[in-house]
């Protein structure tokens, strides 16, 4: 199951550059919506907005940050079979408010509507200044939101967490350990409760833990 996901995510990057990547992504969307459908146009705008916003940002692996954004959307579309265009848009924009100062929840609401803004707000950690710079307090408050969040939120959030766990290999050991623990404490319960990506997360965590054990020997 994890191998299938890895293949799905890797396949989006094959070929001769970003034009082909974009074409492959929207080939999937055209399976749901005509190109003149307002929903297709809105997804296209979100894709382009996210790509432009994250143009100068890279992950620890050296990969463009936008590859993570696209991978989360691909997990929703191909693996979870999500067809709700607002969920797809929220997946494409899930990090934009948290990481890009020029994007705010009011801007999301103005450009994409109340439903997308609601999902993106749920997915966005509150600013650290609300907690006097206390990152632990901020994260605790953020994770408390999970208790009252709708199932649709977890389709995006668990896809995001799964991709992050699957791509932790290039992170520092301390970060890997922290993310593994955080996933077990705050994510696995909801994956099981809503039965969303439960087995995939278990497999990704096991793969990481085996890797950590082998490195210690």
Q: Which of 18, 52, 98, 134 is catalytic?
A: 98
27, 11 Cβ separation under 8 angstroms: no
Question: 89, 116, 93: which is closest to 32 by C-alpha?
Answer: 89
Catalytic-residue membership of 98: yes
Catalytic-residue membership of 99: yes
| Cα distances (Å, whole numbers) of residue 192 to 139, 184, 185, 199 | 21, 11, 12, 9
* Backbone angle region of 132, left / alpha / beta, with phi > 0 → left and psi within -120 to 50 → alpha: left
Q: Which of 99, 170, 192, 209 is catalytic?
A: 99
Q: Residue 214: which residues within 8 A CB-CB, separation 6 or more?
A: none
Provide, for the chain, the percentages of residues in helix, strand and coil under a 3-state DSSP scheme, each rounded to the nearest 5: 75, 0, 25
* DSSP 8-state secondary structure symbol assigned to residue 58: B
Active-site residue numbers? 98-99
């Amino acid at each position: 199951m994890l191998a299938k996901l890895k293949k799905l995510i890797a396949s989006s990057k094959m070929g001769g550059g970003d034009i082909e990547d974009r074409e492959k992504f929207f080939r999937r969307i055209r399976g749901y919506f005509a190109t003149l459908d307002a929903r297709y146009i809105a997804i296209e705008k979100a894709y382009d907005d996210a790509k432009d916003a994250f143009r100068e940002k890279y992950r620890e692996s050296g990969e463009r940050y936008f590859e993570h954004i696209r991978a989360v959307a691909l997990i929703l579309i191909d693996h979870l079979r999500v067809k709700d265009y607002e969920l797809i848009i929220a997946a494409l924009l899930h990090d934009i408010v948290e990481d890009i100062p020029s994007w705010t929840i009011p801007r999301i609401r103005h450009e994409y509507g109340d439903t997308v803004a609601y999902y993106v707000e749920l997915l966005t950690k509150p600013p650290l200044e609300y907690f006097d710079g206390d990152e632990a307090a901020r994260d605790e408050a953020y994770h408390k939101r999970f208790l009252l969040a709708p199932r649709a939120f977890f389709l995006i959030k668990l896809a995001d967490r799964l991709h992050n766990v699957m791509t932790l290999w290039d992170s520092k050991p301390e970060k890997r350990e922290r993310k593994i623990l955080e996933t077990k404490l705050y994510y696995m319960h909801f994956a099981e409760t809503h039965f969303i990506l439960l087995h995939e997360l278990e497999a990704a965590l096991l793969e990481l833990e085996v890797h950590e054990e082998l490195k210690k020997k």
